[in-house]
Homo-oligomer: A and B are copies of this chain.
Amino acid sequence: MSTPTKDVDLALRRLSDLGERRIVKDVLEPRYRSVSGFGDDCAPFGSEHVITTDSCSRALVASLGMDDLVHTGWLLATMNLSDLAAAGAEPDALVVNYTLPRETPVSNLVRIMDGVDACAATHGTRVVGGDLGEGSELRLCATAVGHCPPRLTPAGSVATRLSRRGAGHSDRLLLIGSPGYLWAAALLYHGYAEIGEDRETVYAKAREPVAQLKAGRMLAEHGLARAATDVSDGLFASVRNLCHTNALGAIVSRGIQLDEVLMEVCRQAEVEPFGLGQIWGDWSLVVAVAEEDAAAALELLDDAKLPARDIGFLTQATTQLWLTDDDGQFESWNGVDQERFSDTSWRGDGIEARLRQLRARTRN
């Protein structure tokens, strides 16, 4: 039996030779491309259910003087629930799978569970099962399941599940959530800004990122979202994925408005607000909305007190990503990115170097 040359070449490589994107493209996609929803945040099963799984080692906030594992537990639940948000799903349950060293203090396990349980409760769901295993290092996995009930209309039944597919050119891109808090906390912790008593507000939001379940569900139910994805690896990676999936390009404005307290951190730290806005860690949602529906979608979210902003639109220029500024100038978007099994993979180290990068990107 002969093996195609490409496979032999691949098989001899190591995961770090490829990086996550090539692993997905060259190893996973050929095998799993026929799976419904391949590449999406969630996979559908049954008639209306969706499932997702995500893992984390330790929360970034642990290196910001907040090393209580409750934050890692909260993050683990948020990561998984955020994928459900991108499907417009209602959460049904979480299961967890913790790998822990034998010598782990029981109190650490308790704090992880405190975080997961508190986050799940915030969204009206809970952990229904799990597995504890021994390993040489802490490794936390979870799986979330949810459902997207079909919507009944006079014309019949309409699927409400959102995915990365379905966006069209000239769709507006809405960024839903409160981006910037995690890395603003890092800037504060490392002394690049000083904002007095607001500091605790920023830390609190950095510790407890919120999955945008309510927004995803609401836009899906109203038939206002054409495609959605969450911001796991930064805004750039999310928009690039949306564009790649739909063979579109995007023009995004770098004049992003962050919450006022973050604008102040940016001023002091000499970081462009877009730098904080495009980085990962706050679990926002990017939703493509038909141009004519954008105002209605923003109004709906505003009525529900869900923070959202229009950040740009999709174009026909396949996979070309552009930034535009207030003066109408365009430039190619080479965004902040992280990729597992690559040198950009975040493993909890080198925060200061990242902060310097963030500041260096600020245009003069």
Contact = CB atoms under 8 A, between A and B. Distances in A.
A137 B46 CA distance: 34
A103 to B, nearest CB: 5
Each complex incorporates copies of this chain amounting to 2
A104 interface: yes
A223 B238 CA distance: 49
A49 interface: yes
Contacts of A340: 132-134
Interface stretch (A67-75, A109-117, A159-167, A261-269): A109-117
Interface residues of A, number: 69
A169 interface: no
A54 B15 CA distance: 24
Contacts of A99: 55, 99, 139, 141
A341 to B, nearest CB: 6
Contacts of A18: 106
A97 B55 contact: yes
Interface of A: 10-18, 20, 23, 27, 31-32, 35-37, 42-46, 49, 51-57, 92-93, 95-97, 99-107, 109-110, 113, 117, 126-137, 139, 141, 143, 145, 147, 340-341, 345, 347
Contact of A27 (B20, B57, B106): B106
Most buried by B among A14, A18, A129: A129
B145 A55 contact: no
Contact of A57 (B104, B128, B131, B133): B133
Contacts of A134: 340-341, 345, 347
Nearest to A104: B15
Contact of A117 (B31, B54, B139): B31
